[in-house]
Amino acid sequence: MVPLGGGVAHARVAADQDPALVRTAQGAVHGLPGSDHRTFSGIPYAAPPTGDRRWRAPGPAPTWAGVRDATKPGSPCPQLDGGGPDRPPQPLGDEDCLFLNVTTPASRPAERLPVMVWIHGGGFVAGAGSEYDLSRMATQGKVVTVTLNYRLGALGYLDHPAMSDPYEGNYALADQQAALRWVRRNIAAFGGDPANVTIFGQSAGGFSVCAHLAAPGSRGLFQKAIVESGPCGNAFVTRAAARARATKIAADLGCATRTAACLRAKPVAELLPIGSDQVFTATARIGDMPWIFTAGTPALPMQPLEALRRGLAAPVPLLQGATHDEMRPFVAVQFDAQGRPVTAQQYPEILADLFGDDADAVLDRYPVAGFPTPSLALATVLTDWGAKLGACSQLPADDAAAWRAPVYAFEFAENSGQEIVGLPLGAGHAAELPYLMEGPNPPLALSPAQERLSRDMIAYWTRFAATGDPNLPGLPHWAAYHSGGTVLSLASGPQGVHPVNFVSSHQCAFWRHPQHAS
């Protein structure tokens, strides 16, 4: 057998004799058996988006004879690595990257298990499904998990009219839909129920889930949705803005004429730096990010919040939430880690740039003297405001979705104990992930109380995937969301898991009308 899906071996092994052998519609795959789970990696779910297929919706997945090695992940999609102190970021990955990974409990179930499909984050320019190990979810919650790659950066989100594809600006969405169609066709062979699929994601993955809720092409491919730190109340880029950006990018690359052929001929390394230095700008709105989904297109006709409010989004149970201190890591990376923490003089200047005529009202509500440092003041403003990843932009989506399906809202509030150059991160962006899965960052050493929180969160998430209701005997009750802003706080402290008033704790009434603040 050949690693990375580069080929297949002609072998015949009876599936009932080898739990690591599964026959899919494309051909047989052989994964890795473990003591309590089985993992199948590097399975292609669509044709490679290379050559003339660059900036087109992906084609059908390849087929093969014999048994394909599924013991190693496929290549990540092209991206820049993190660089280092002595070198700039370098390209990694390959355009032949549309692979997914499946993890199941070790024993074959008598009945088909719920399926959870994880869409990774990374600011739409980085990451891979194989960076996440969901075996704890699979074994504790008795579910089948799937992680996947999708195109990133310009390759996933460029919206240039010369491409003439229905998925212009949303090629990553097309990839994810292709993966979900693969799941519908093949997951029963792994013991999963193709009629009980939950999509879930964090950050860029959370926004991806919001896009699927609104996308006509995603309808029927999933039955439940979980959004972590990617609130559906935020707007994606408009078609006009996306095309203006793409036209400028093409011209800058020397492709103002014969644009499609010119761009498809460009080495991928020339495309990766575009917009990469803007992704983690703390003060950017989601729609201002260089790469994100394009609304007002055939693939995504309207913004997720508009679709929810008009009753045109998928009417599926929704679990949505964020972290208590969402924006602290972004402020730390943009300011403190650069050796220039926000100063008392800068703070009102930044607010003026962000809020214009409303800046004085924001400054009155969040005075710099009320916080240990100006950086923490700014991080609190950005977290509460929620025009990127934070708090108050999720409530309009909760309100709209709750009219048509159950909604369960949460806030992860467990202090990570981590800091960046002296700025405490609290329960910052992505702080919940180690409680659900192993990811690209080093694992945390959890206390016994935090281990219990982790077990409870996995139980909530997987029970929701199974039934659409996260509640189980022995867990604190999680009430369905109703207008008013009460959500479930997830923490291991003295109060533990308990309801909180999200509107008051993040001043969301103020953010609805800051110009009317007293």
Active centre residues (catalytic): 203, 326, 429
Q: What does DSSP assign to residue 154?
A: H
Sheet order of strands, 37-44 included: 32-33, 37-44, 99-105, 144-148, 113-119, 192-202, 224-228, 318-323, 407-412, 486-490, 498-501
Length reported for the chain: 518
Q: At what angle do helices 374-385 and 346-355 cross, to 10 degrees?
A: 20
How far apart are alpha carbons 229 and 326 in whole angstroms?
8
| Token pair of 499 as six digits | 């309801």
What type of residue is 419?
A: E
Q: How far are the Cα atoms of 161, 382, 387, 416, 436 from residue 376, in angstroms, in the given order? A: 43, 10, 17, 16, 27
Cβ proximity of 440 and 91 under 8 Å: no
CA 480 to chain centre: 23
Contact predicate 30/72, CB 8 Å: no
Give the C-alpha separation, 487 to 503, whole Å: 9
**236, 292 Cβ separation under 8 angstroms:** yes
- The amino acid that residue 34 corresponds to is G
**Nearest CA-CA partner of 188 in 91, 309, 102:** 102
The DSSP bridge partners found for residue 438 are 133
Alpha helices in 233-287 (DSSP H): 239-252, 259-265, 268-271
Radius of gyration of the chain (CA): 23
- Cα torsion through 429, 432, 438, 441, rounded to 10: 30
Distance in angstroms between the alpha carbons of the first and the last residue of the chain = 69
Closest CA to 281 of 441, 123, 511: 123
Q: Which of 218, 200, 181, 177 minimizes the C-alpha distance to 118?
A: 200
**What is the secondary structure of 220-241 as a DSSP string?**
TS-SEEEEES--TTS--EEHHH
> b or e along 289-315 (b: 16 or more beta carbons within 10 Å of the residue's beta carbon)?
bbbbbbbbbebbebbbbebbbeeebbe
